Amino acid sequence: QAASADTLLLTAARLLDIRDGSFVENAALLVEDGRIVAAGPRGDIEAPPGARRLDLPGATLLPGLIDMHVHLTSSPDYHGFRRLALSDERKAIQGVVHAERTLYAGFTTVRNVGAGSFGDVALRDAIEAGEVPGPRLFVSGPPVGITGGHCSDNNLLPAEYGLEGEGVADGPWAARAAVRRNIKYGVDLIKTCSTGGVLSKGTKVGAPQYSVEELTALVDEAHSRGLRVASHAHGAEGIRNALEAGVDTIEHGSFIDDSGIRLAKKKGAWLGMDIYVTEFILGEGEEKGILSESLEKERMTGETQRENFRKAVEAGVKMIYSTDAGVYPHGHNARQLSRMVTFGMTPLQALQAATLNSAEALDKDGELGALEPGYLADVIAVQGNPLDDIRLLESVHFVMRDGVVYKHSRAQD
C-alpha cells in the first residue's frame, strides 16, 4: 500500500555513498514532498516536528536502481510465433503487471525501448497519474528502422499477410518523419536498430541496418528536438555506424571491436550490454517459443558479448545498465549485476552503472541515481552489505519512489 508523500525521516543501519563506495553508519534520510532534503549520520539530521518516522533495522539504503533497456509490454512466455496472437491491448495489460513487478524488484526508473501502438506512452502516463504502480518510465514507442529489419519490422509471416512494423522507415527523410511521428505521440527517446538481432526472423546479428546517412538524419532529427537516441547494435560495423551518426547509447554491443571501443570513448557514448539474458534464452528459450534460428544466433553471440563486456570495462567505456527484461521475466532485472561482477566490474562499478551512469545517460543526473539532497526520493534497501554480496540486490525488501513507500516487507534475517 502506498503511503502518502509528506515529511519522513527514514533511518537504517547504513547508507551506501554510491560515488565512492563508503558507508554512512547509523544513517538517516530526510524526505520532503518526494525529494531528499538531507542524508547522513542520524545525529546530524533533525526531523521537523510532526515528521513521520520509519526505521529499517540492519538495512543498507541505496538509490533506486535504473534499467535502461526493458520491454514492459513483452512477456517472456510469448516468444516467436506465439507473440503474433497477442494484440497490442493485451500486451499493454500485461505491461501493467510487469511494471509493478519491476518496481517491487527495486527498479524505480526504467527506459522502455520498443512498444507497439505507443502502449509504453500510455503505461508511463497511467503510472504518472497514480492509476497503477510502477517505475518512472522513459519510453521510445515503436523503434524506427528498415524494412525487414530487427526491431522495426516483423518477418514472421509471408507477404500476402501484409505484416509490417509500425516504425519502418527507409531513407533519411522517412527516418526523420518517423522520429517526428513518435514525438507527436509522446515518446521520450528514439530507439533504432543499426544491426540485425537474435530474436527476429531472418536478420543477421553481424549485418548493419541503415546507412550512416540514414542514421545521421535520424539522430539529427531527434537531437534537434531534444531527444536522445538508443541504437540496438550487435555487429562491429553497425556499432561504428551508430556511433559515427552520434547515437547516445549502444544497446547489446556484442561484437564491439577495438575501433568501436575507441569511438565510443571519443564520442562519449554509453554502452549497455545485456549479459544476463543469454542464460534465459539458451535455458528456457526453446520451450517459450524462441525460434531455432534465434537459438543458433544466441549460441554465436552470448559468450563473445561477455568477453567484450570485460574489454569495454577495462578500456573505460561509460557503462549503463541494460538488461532486455521482457525477453526474460520482469522483476529479475537485478540478476545481471552479479554477471557484471563476474565479467570484470567491481560490485560498486556495477551499482554505479545501474544508478549514476544510467541517470546521466537519461539526462537526469542531479535528480536520479544518488541519495543526496535535491535528488528525487527513490530509495531501496537490502539486508547486509551489497559490496560484499552483490546478489543481495536480488532481494530488495524496501522500495520507495518519489517519497512514496511501495514495498516494506519483513527483512529476511
By CB under 6 A, name the binding residues for ligand ARG.
Answer: 197-199, 252, 254, 274, 277-278, 298, 301-302, 305, 324, 327
User: Closest separation between CB of residue 216 and ligand ARG, Å?
Assistant: 23
Phi/psi at 133 (5° precision) = -80, 145
User: Closest separation between CB of residue 145 and ligand ARG, Å?
Assistant: 12
Distance CA 274, CA 310 (A): 13
Q: 280 or 398: whose CB is closer to ligand ARG?
A: 280
Cβ-Cβ contacts under 8 Å for 412 (sequence gap 6 or more): 383, 395, 397
Q: What angle do CA 239, 143, 291 make, to 5 degrees?
A: 80
User: Length of the chain in residues, anyone?
Assistant: 413
Q: 221 or 251: whose CB is closer to ligand ARG?
A: 251
User: Closest separation between CB of residue 257 and ligand ARG, Å?
Assistant: 16
Q: 14 or 339: whose CB is closer to ligand ARG?
A: 339
* AA letter at 59: A
Of all residues in the shown chain, the one whose CB is closest to ligand ARG is 197
* AA letter at 46: E
User: Closest separation between CB of residue 328 and ligand ARG, Å?
Assistant: 9
User: Closest separation between CB of residue 168 and ligand ARG, Å?
Assistant: 17
Q: 198 or 313: whose CB is closer to ligand ARG?
A: 198
Distance CA 201, CA 413 (A): 47
Q: 305 or 358: whose CB is closer to ligand ARG?
A: 305
User: Closest separation between CB of residue 254 and ligand ARG, Å?
Assistant: 6
Cβ neighbours around 6 below 10 Å, total: 13
Distance CA 242, CA 235 (A): 11
Tell me how far the alpha carbon of residue 19 is from its chain's centroid: 20
Distance CA 139, CA 68 (A): 10
Q: 140 or 278: whose CB is closer to ligand ARG?
A: 278
